[in-house]
Chains A and B, each alone.
Chain A
């Protein structure tokens, strides 16, 4: 079945360590997105990529980095510069070639201790 795979579902890291969250899709979608959710708040855009080897900052990009070396993969690195990394992270994708190609991953819950 086609879809987005985010792994792992739960992730624990020590403060000061970089951590990379995986997002893989087999839908041939062009655009991919990373969102962050804090308790009691809505989802906010971190980074997005509309084509391979290109990506744009969202509203809260500071302390994060991404890469888009392959169409199907859009990993997000939470760096030690991110002051409050503990949050829920959601990956999504859009097929820009038609009206109904939208898909969401199940998310990764990152806890930094």
Chain B
């Protein structure tokens, strides 16, 4: 069993749709990261959150530490949002990564 599970693995959406990506983890953490990776590109850190909700533009991340679950939402999705989204759960001395959600937004 993976310490971090993401769903869905692949997601295709029409431009403008509201998108949700889920991340569940079994390790004890104090914060969780959401990362974005464009095709052929590098990693960009979107959010680090330890409780509640954070918002940046059209991206919203939420976390429930008690339920060990986090969600990444994208409102009014756009083709430039097409990327792989990865959740990362750092413990005291290492990271556990989800396998990523590959998002394609069609114009």
Contact = CB atoms under 8 A, between A and B. Distances in A.
A106 B95 contact: no
Interface residues of B, number: 23
A41 B9 CA distance: 11
Nearest to A41: B99
A107 interface: yes
B97 A99 contact: no
A55 interface: no
Contacts, number: 59
30 contacts: A6-B42, A9-B42, A31-B93, A35-B95, A41-B99, A42-B99, A43-B86, A43-B97, A45-B94, A90-B43, A92-B95, A94-B94, A99-B30, A99-B50, A100-B31, A100-B48, A100-B50, A102-B33, A102-B88, A102-B90, A102-B95, A103-B45, A104-B45, A104-B88, A105-B43, A106-B42, A106-B43, A106-B44, A107-B42, A107-B43
